[in-house]
Amino acid sequence: MRPFGWLRTFPRDLSSNGYPTQGRPPVYTMPSALTIRLGALLLAAGLSAVAPAVLDTFDADNQGWRTCNFSFAAGLANDFAPAGWSPEGGAPGGALLTPDVSDWNFFSAPEAYLGDRSGAFGTDLRFDTFASLEDGVYPGAILTSGSIAVYAVGVPPGTSWTGVSIPLAGASWSLSPEPGGTPISDAMLRAVLSGLDGLYIEADWYVGEDLTGLDNVRLDSAPVPEPPVGLALGPAAAALIWRRRRRAGAVRRR
């Protein structure tokens, strides 16, 4: 079993609108359906797309989590099985509990955590965990994408529930499961997160029989900036808006 952890349009005043009436009222035009649609596009383009955060508290079941063996030599997981679940003893409520069931035991996240998780960059992977025994510093979490595996190495969590927060930034991850590995770049971590096919949390802090718990796993997402409005709509749409504005101005000046 092994260890790690980061303990740690409103009304205008028409009397002063500046339009020369010369004894006749100014001309106003109703917006067309095209103008309304373009306005909706402008509004949508100003919003940020946010991938949903994922939170599992294990109060009713194991929520699709599994245990597995992880081979550091191959950078792959195998021997998957449903993770053990207890309705009580968590932090609080239910929790996942696993004894030493493989050579190097890990909790394996379900599909909700995988896919394009690039929006999680710059946030933290958070969870509560404990280990009944520990004997060293090991990978506390692993992210995989295709043939690439990156590791976050840290200290054991302790024998009671401990909150862990691992920054999702390149400086907290390396290509080596050993302590002291060279941190990866932010660009590499973004690439891994954009095609995430595995998220594993340490469940084996000790060489021998032990018990490890997991609760309150959370993967956040930060807002993903949208392109500028001009780019989102394209030059043709921007030109159309400009022509309509000029035409409206000409009507008002007559």
With respect to residue 184, please indicate whether it lies within any of the assigned structural domains. Answer: yes
With respect to residue 36, please indicate whether it lies within any of the assigned structural domains. Answer: no
Q: What pLDDT is recorded for position 5?
A: 39
Question: Cα–Cα distance between 65 and 77 in angstroms, integer?
Answer: 14
With respect to residue 245, please indicate whether it lies within any of the assigned structural domains. Answer: no
Q: Is the pLDDT at 135 greater than 50, yes or no?
A: yes
Q: Which two tokens stand for residue 42?
A: 């402008």
**Domain residue limits at 100:** 54-219
Question: Cα–Cα distance between 191 and 147 in angstroms, integer?
Answer: 12
Q: What pLDDT is recorded for position 131?
A: 97
Q: What CATH number is attached to the domain comprising 167?
A: 2.60.120.260
Side-by-side strand order, sheet with 76-82: 76-82, 66-71, 105-108, 198-202, 138-145, 148-154
Instruction: Please state the rounded mean pLDDT for residues 146-156.
Output: 95
pLDDT in tens, 60-93: 999 999 999 999 999 999 999 999 999 999 999 9
With respect to residue 166, please indicate whether it lies within any of the assigned structural domains. Answer: yes
How many domains in the chain? 1
Is 161 within 8 Å of 215 (Cβ atoms)? yes
With respect to residue 9, please indicate whether it lies within any of the assigned structural domains. Answer: no
With respect to residue 101, please indicate whether it lies within any of the assigned structural domains. Answer: yes
With respect to residue 113, please indicate whether it lies within any of the assigned structural domains. Answer: yes
17's enclosing H/E stretch is none
Q: What percent of the chain has pLDDT over 90?
A: 65
pLDDT in tens, 24-54: 444 444 445 544 443 443 344 344 444 589 9
Q: Is the pLDDT at 1 greater than 60, yes or no?
A: no
With respect to residue 81, please indicate whether it lies within any of the assigned structural domains. Answer: yes
Judge if the upstream peptide bond of residue 156 is cis by omega within 30 degrees of 0: no
